[in-house]
Amino acid sequence: MEKRTQSPKRRRLVLVPCPYQGHITPMLQLGTFLHNNGGFSITIAHTRFNSPDPSNYPFFQFLYLDDGIPKHEAIPADLIAVLLDLNVNCRASFEDQMRRLIGGGGAGEEVVAGVIYDEVMFFCEEVLSDLKVRSFILRTTCAAASLARMALVRLNDEGYFPLKECMLQDPAPELHPLRFKDLPISLTTGFTKYPTLVKGMYNLETPIKAEAIIWNTMEWLEESTVSQIKTKSTTVPVFFIGPLHRTASARTSVLTEDFNCLQWLDEQADGSVVYVAIGSIASLGEKELGEMAWGLANSQQPFLWVVQPGAVRGSEWIEALPDGFLEAVGGRGCVVKWAPQKEVLAHRAVGGFWSHCGWNSSMESLSEGVPMLCSPCFGDQKVNARYLSHVWRVGLQLENGLERGEIENGIKRLMDEEQGREIRDRAKHFKEKIEAHVKVEEDQCSSRTHLKDLVSLLSSF
Ligand code: UDP
């Protein structure tokens, strides 16, 4: 009898991003890389709210999760509450969609090789374990922020919180160089929902069902933190594959980018412009907006400022800018709703980035050699700002909130004076290091090696 040869089934990966820009971006970049380089078919399991436009990803399949959240705000007033609700509400439709996918794939040309979920979407773990589908966790923060977050539970158990105001500047135990004020939560108001969120996420020390943890950071950048993580995480492989935006070029923006600002940049002198953006989920009070505006105006430096609609509490867009500000700055300032940030940072006219220090923004700035003025708002941004200003020393941190005099002084120091020049030189050095690093294959610590090993692991099932 003739023996029938079976062609191997194509492997499909399901990716579950957390539905906010800073999380969607690295997940889509990872999906693009795995599609282009590992030959995987990709399904994105997303909430309908904040979904990237599927027509921009003709090579991905999209399926939708019912999030059950009645009112969606682009910038949520209580992010942790929304994340906790997502973990409860999305579970049933995720399970349902996965059952259908596994059922369909088993009979056809494809097999579901695994699910990569954002660490914040931890409801996936139990569903996948029940369905016997392999899971992988993507962490979209730097490694130091992950360790700091895990330490919060320990410090809480040791009775540190709520912290006395006078202790904010003190070093956080076992977390050098972080101070209490750099930890990823407001410590003086105490813990409420945060421990539930942190405990839901994998903490490196308890047993885990996932097959691997993937970090969007670089081993060489966070050497000592990575070595601590490797010591703690003995039962599961860890991969450090950042910066993902240098690995896969995907247009990942959920909001419409205003490309006209690149023409405005074309008209500015080399290295003269301060680019100002506070990411996708931070908000400002009217007073803070006013302080930012007058700090920028008084610095006399040209600036490109992203003010996302809804970012100023109680305003549609820029109505809350102080009277006389736009007239005072004239053509020296350009204000947009959303910018093509990576192109902006790569533009020859941009000499500094005044940032909230989200992890994607930080890596994008490091990759382009742009020095930073650091104004972290909450969460991991505070850890990133401390590392940018005190460990990698490519930024200056505004330590006392948003106050026009400090802002003016910070911008002048960054753009003009000797301290700024040293920071700029170091930032350029990081750009060169990242450029060299993303090409290196032989080095065991390089992201390329980690990516190759990750593809091998995903292909081995
Ligand atoms: N971003 C953008 N245009 C803007 C502002 C931000 O494309 O006008 C992008 C930016 O390039 C980054 C992401 O939005 O990739 C923000 O992620 P990040 O982790 O920096 O901050 P988050 O939004 O999570 O606070």
Question: Which protein residues are within 6 Å of ligand 1, measured from CB?
Answer: 21-22, 25, 253, 277, 279-282, 306, 338-339, 341-342, 358-361, 364
CATH topology of 11-140+207-247+439-459 equal to that of 260-435? yes
CB 352 within 8 A of CB 373: yes
What number does the ligand 1 atom closest to the CA of 377 have?
25
Overall average pLDDT of the 117-143 stretch: 97
**pLDDT tens digits, residue range 313-371?**
888 999 999 999 999 999 999 999 999 999 999 999 999 999 999 999 999 999 999 99
The percentage of residues in the chain with a pLDDT greater than 70, rounded to a whole number, is: 95
3-state secondary structure 126-139: HHHHHHCCCEEEEE
pLDDT of residue 1: 47
How many whole angstroms from 127 Cα to the centroid of ligand 1? 30
On the question of pLDDT at 456 being above 60, the answer is yes
pLDDT of residue 417: 73
pLDDT of residue 397: 97
Name the average pLDDT for the chain.
Answer: 92
pLDDT of residue 458: 95
Is omega for the bond preceding 177 within 30 degrees of 0, making it cis?
Answer: yes
> Which of 18, 20, 21, 119 to mutate for ligand 1's pocket (most ligand atoms within 8 Å of CB)?
21
CATH 3.40.50.2000 correct for 260-435: yes
Overall average pLDDT of the 440-454 stretch: 82
Overall average pLDDT of the 392-419 stretch: 94
On the question of pLDDT at 7 being above 70, the answer is no
How many whole angstroms from 66 Cα to the centroid of ligand 1? 25
CATH 3.40.50.2000 correct for 11-140+207-247+439-459: yes
pLDDT of residue 461: 76
CB 391 within 8 A of CB 444: no
Integer Rg of the chain from CA: 22
How many whole angstroms from 280 Cα to the centroid of ligand 1? 6
What pTM, to 2 d.p., does this model score?
A: 0.96
What number does the ligand 1 atom closest to the CA of 355 have?
20
On the question of pLDDT at 50 being above 70, the answer is yes
How many whole angstroms from 96 Cα to the centroid of ligand 1? 32
pLDDT of residue 191: 66
- Of these ranges, 208-222, 408-422, 435-449, the one predicted with the greatest mean pLDDT is 208-222
> Which of 361, 382, 383, 388 to mutate for ligand 1's pocket (most ligand atoms within 8 Å of CB)?
361
Domain ranges for the chain: 11-140+207-247+439-459, 260-435
**pLDDT tens digits, residue range 58-75?**
999 999 999 998 888 888
What number does the ligand 1 atom closest to the CA of 379 have?
25
Contacts from 385-392 at CB under 8 Å and sequence distance 24+? 385/182, 385/357, 386/177, 386/178, 386/179, 386/182, 387/142, 387/144, 387/177, 388/357, 388/362, 390/177, 391/177, 392/221, 392/366, 392/426, 392/430
